Amino acid sequence: MNAPVRLAVIGTGAMGRNHVRILSMLKEVELVGIVEPDAAAASAVAAQYGCKIFASLDALKGEIDAACVAAPSSLHAEIGTELLRAGIHCLIEKPLATDAAGCRALIDAAKDGGAHLLVGHVEQFNPAVRRLSDIFAGKYNIHAIDARRLGWAGKRITDADVIADLMVHDLDIVLALVRSPVKSISAQGISVLDTSGADHAVATLGFENGTLATLTASRITQNRVRELTVASDIGHIHLDYGRQELAIYRGPDLAPPSLIRAEPGGSVTDYAMERVLVRSTEPLMSEIRHFVDVVNGVEAPLVTGEDALAALQLIWQISTTIGGQLQ
């Protein structure tokens, strides 16, 4: 049995508080403390979860093995590089950093400090996504992917366009599924709200292996949609992120005989639907457990710094393409 991993959380905004909540529940973790510049917020979190408040990153050194970084994105590179160089393993919320130089500094700091760097692409830990990844683990061909992430902005992030805010989640999943270099990108978007950049965007990616992916992200749509569909040589697969549901629709030439029902007149249905068993879990809980397993040497990182940088480079390219249209 490994000793509990000593962990701290840097930043206790909405996401940071979720990290603290989950860490306080895990037996394999010792929640050592938090770093939070807002004194009132820090006191409230520390009192609720019985952890210590640290005045600085330097004060953490020697006290922890790992950290969850949920500070503002603009501080990720500065905070992460200091911790990683000190040999402290880091789970950094997305985006990894706000520019390529910051991302590269974090990746290099992890190598220099001999520490693991994971990036919080939490949808990778949605159990339906994990099951979908297992299905396509080198076994079947993906012909096309359609991803839609729609909703109303409300009080969501307004200092980033909808590509960096929402589309990044699906782009990360698409890249993990296809595992082929992107050959072409086309994108369009519109700006409706008083925000930074596009509020509704559509991007089409062509991959070298022939797969075509279309991603739609919107924060001007009244109904909430979080879904991904895959056209493949085993059928049409539909994934609902929120419901954590996965279904495979197969035509008669692909469906197992047990899924095709004879009609009274002797004909058969033109397709069959198979629900894939998915055990519902909280994705952030699974992500943090994975982080602990990586720290303990049990697993390899699912989302590395290099993975996150690759996704961000495509996000920036899509944003630049659409930004030129909006000017």
CA dihedral (37, 42, 46, 52) in degrees, to 10, reads: 20
* pLDDT tens per residue across span 92-132: 999 999 999 999 999 999 999 999 999 999 999 999 999 99
* pLDDT tens per residue across span 169-184: 999 999 999 999 999 9
Helix (H, G, I), strand (E, B) or coil at 225: strand
Question: What pLDDT is attached to residue 256?
Answer: 56
Question: What pLDDT is attached to residue 200?
Answer: 95
What span, in angstroms and rounded, lies between the C-alpha atoms of 237 and 98? 34
Domains of the chain, first to last: 5-115 (3.40.50.720), 124-281+312-326 (3.30.360.10)
Report, as ranges of residue numbers, the positions in the chain whose pLDDT lies below 50.
Answer: 259-260
Two structure tokens written together for 288: 């943090």
Q: How many CB atoms lie within 10 A of CB 209?
A: 12
Question: What pLDDT is attached to residue 148?
Answer: 97
Asked, as a colleague might, if the bond just before 95 is cis with ω within 30 of 0, I would say yes
Helix (H, G, I), strand (E, B) or coil at 133: helix
